[in-house]
Structure 1
């Protein structure tokens, strides 16, 4: 049995996932909890948010995030890759900072705009 607190809504239901019984979820108050509990027990993913350096911009940092969740076990390695990025101003929202991060098929995109200095 695995235990999680659901983050799909503000209720924060205390979920129990029974791996021996086809990942049966209990403790949920809606179907979102069932989906979250199964996913968290079988293949947990996280959206990673961070900043990258921008050269020639009005400020030195630009916010970025993964375009979708990546496997939880890759988060630390993903941060190493993100920390290597250097963008050149100008930057617009949605620019791809890293294509296909760690061969996950997920891009890292900018979430803020950066004008040239």
Structure 2
């Protein structure tokens, strides 16, 4: 997000390669938003979600014991709330996984009560 005041925000859409410059106007007290500058409907949805409930996919590595490598790449199965990224990383930094592991295997179910699982992104 580039600019924010009480009623107006601007950002660049990252949903597709177009990179539309979005203007988001908070139009009413009920929480309605008017988005302009988007070339497709996905841009409007992205802007509203980014203003009201920003989320991010989390990718990292965790310690792997008894494997042919020492670190295992992992990711969240769905995006997690942006506000919880630091706490998610703290929990993942504590995780040690025993080999063998299969790609797609759930390593943590319901990370920080978000309803999102952490999965292995390769076999090891």
> TM-score band, normalised by the shorter chain?
over 0.9
Write the distance in 1 (CA, Å) between the matches of 2:104 and 2:22.
35
SS at match of 2:89: helix
Q: Which residue of 1 aligns with 2:21?
A: 14
Write the distance in 1 (CA, Å) between the matches of 2:53 and 2:76.
17
Q: 2:77 matched to 1:93?
A: no
C-alpha displacement at 1:20, in angstroms?
A: 3.0
Q: Which residue of 2 aligns with 1:53?
A: 63
SS at match of 1:16: strand
Deviations 1:5-64 (A, max 9, x none): 101111111111112341111110111101101111111100100001100000001110
Q: Which residue of 1 aligns with 2:3?
A: none
- From 94, 105, 118, the equivalent of 1:108 is 118
Write the distance in 2 (CA, Å) between the matches of 1:18 and 1:107.
34
Query: What is the TM-score normalised by the length of structure 2?
Result: 0.89
Q: Which runs of 5+ in 2 are unaligned?
A: 1-7
Write the distance in 2 (CA, Å) between the matches of 1:103 and 1:20.
33
Q: Which residue of 1 aligns with 2:51?
A: 41
Runs of 4+ in 1 over 3 A off after TM superposition: none
C-alpha displacement at 1:96, in angstroms?
A: 1.2
Q: Which runs of 5+ in 1 are unaligned?
A: none
Bigger shift: 42-51 or 11-20? 11-20
Higher relative contact order (CA 8 A, sep 6+): 1
Write the distance in 2 (CA, Å) between the matches of 1:19 and 1:69.
25
Q: 2:77 matched to 1:77?
A: no
